Each structure stands twice: as C-alpha cells, then as structure tokens.
Chains A and B, each alone.
With several copies, the nearest count.
Chain A
Amino acid sequence: MKYGIVIVSHVSDIAIGVQRLIDQVAKDVSVTTAGGLENDGVGTSIERIQTAFEQNTGDELLAFYDLGSAKMNLEMAIEMSDKKVHLYDTALVESAYTAAALLQVNTSLEDVEKQINELKIK
C-alpha cells in the first residue's frame, strides 16, 4: 500500500511551505496541496482539494488541515472521492512532518497514526 499526504490550508503559502518542509525528509512520499482560493484569496476550495487528491500518487491518503472550515471542505471532498482518505484533527505542520518522516521509512499506517494521534488538538 502506497500512502500519500495532502495538506489543506486557508493560505497557499502555508500549504506549499509545509510541502517544502516535509519533502526534505520524505523524498519518496507523494505530497500534494490545496491552499487558498483563486486570485490568492484566503480560504479553502473543494476543487483544489479534489485536485490534490487526484494528483497524489498515493493509493491511500493522509490529510491534514489548519482550521475547521478546511475540515468541512475536506470532508465533502472525501465523501465525493474514490480514494480512501484519512483525516486527522492534529497540529498541521507538526503532524504532517511526523507522518512524512515515518512514511518515508515505510512505517505501517497503524504506527504512524499512533504517533500523530499524540498531536491531536482539534
């Protein structure tokens, strides 16, 4: 099973920045992002989330978000998606980093979740 990571943020810079941070330690993990709105607006777009799901080469996805409204859009996108997507109510930057580092060394999803659940804050 190949896992991928999806980062959803209200601000495109945050999403892209987290991707840069985790690419460093997880070169072989597919990471895609959905940040902000059209015209560089602040918000979350379900279409961008759907694109991030599609472009991710992982078979199953781990999704992280910043604020509650991003979660609602994520949940809608998950309901509409064919891929299995796991959604975590954990610290965005820190849990995405942890998950990426662990997936890079082929940790099982169960063990990854054990780690990131300690970062649950939402």
Chain B
Amino acid sequence: MTLDVEKTIKWMDDFNAEIQAQKGYLSELDTPIGDGDHGNNMARGMEAVHEALDGKEFNSVSDVLKTIAMSLISKVGGAAGPLYGTAFLEMSKTNSGDIKDLIPAGLAGIERRGNATEGEKTMVDVWKPAAEAVSAGKLTSKLIDESVEKTRDMQATKGRASYVGERSIGHIDPGSMSSGYLLKTLLKVGE
C-alpha cells in the first residue's frame, strides 16, 4: 500500500479520532506502570497535528510526515513525543509513501531514540513485528492486536515502567496500545 498526501492526512484524522476516543483508556493503562498521562499526552499531540495539517497544502507525503513529526515533538510532552516524533521524521526521510518503506523507517527511529530493542515492553514490541510483517506483505490488524496483547506479560526494562520491575508484568504497555491504533488506522486508509 502506498500513501499519497490525501491518504496521509486521512490517516492522521482517523488516528486523531481514535486517540481522542481512547484518551482515558490510554492514560488508565499508563497508571499502574507509569505516570498515567499517555492518553493526555497523545491527545495533546494529535490536536497539534490536526491544527498543523488542517486546511494546509502539501507537496508530498514527506512534507506531511515532517509536519506531523514536528507537532508531536513539540507538543506531546512525554517520552512518546520524541519517540513518535523521531519515527515520523525517519519516515519522512524515506521520500516514499510505501508502507514497506515507512514502517521499518519508523521502527528504526524509535529504536534509536529509545535505545530499545524487542522484549523490553515498549512500543518497539508492536513496531518490530509490524515492520517484519509488512516487508513480507503480511501485515494485518490481527497481527497488530496480538503484538499489543503480548506486551502484557513482558517485564519492562525501558521507560518509566522499568522502575516497578516485576510489577510491570500483567499490564499492557500504553505506548504499544497507541502504536497499535496508529498502525491499524494506517492499514484502514489503504482498504
């Protein structure tokens, strides 16, 4: 699937709608293993994205992706800001609209910024299987949901959740959940 400017904006509209709808749930996920603000952070960031895109003209998918990155970087306020921001910056640098290029580039950005690898109970645990599946042409909503769910039994070794050690087991990682929304709304704009 390949994004154009219109589809990219549609993607963000859908993601924004999902974030605003799930804002409370995301912050709830962040409460037992974090500081309970992930939903608010993402909602604030996506509002800024919406404002930055709304009614504007863009020459390329890359331009849209860069604008998204900048809004997230400056407005999210939590770890998710630099992480999603770097993901979108790296996507923008591919100069491609093909999700086979975009998702692996986003993953690389998150891994670098968060210094994280798979199995640390972070959003990497959703981006990594998604990047592998998209390369093989096998990315589905089901696979995304499963990766999100798998973070439940992991012990966090990165981010705030790592402070509670073993007690992080048994809770879905909030950043993985929001990444799931992001990737599923991306799949949907291609349908």
Contact = CB atoms under 8 A, between A and B. Distances in A.
Nearest to A41: B77
Chain A CB within 10 Å, residue with most, of B34, B78, B158: B78
Interface stretch (A1-9, A56-64, A94-102): A94-102
Contact of A75 (B34, B37, B113, B159): B113
B85 A76 contact: yes
Contact of B82 (A67, A73, A102): A73
A55 interface: no
Contacts of A102: 163-165, 167
Interface of B: 32, 34-37, 41, 73-74, 77-79, 81-83, 85-86, 113-114, 158-160, 163-165, 167
A73 B114 CA distance: 10
A74 to B, nearest CB: 9
Interface of A: 24-25, 37, 41-47, 67-69, 72-73, 75-76, 97-98, 101-102, 104-105, 107, 115
**Which 7 A-B pairs rank lowest in CB-CB distance, beginning with the nearest?**
A43-B77, A69-B79, A72-B82, A101-B163, A105-B167, A24-B35, A37-B77
B164 A46 contact: no
Given A69-B82, A102-B167, 5 more contacts: A41-B77, A47-B74, A68-B158, A68-B160, A72-B114
A67 B78 CA distance: 10
Contacts of A45: 74, 77
A24 B79 CA distance: 15
Contact of A105 (B37, B78, B81, B164): B164
A55 B41 CA distance: 27
A72 B35 CA distance: 17
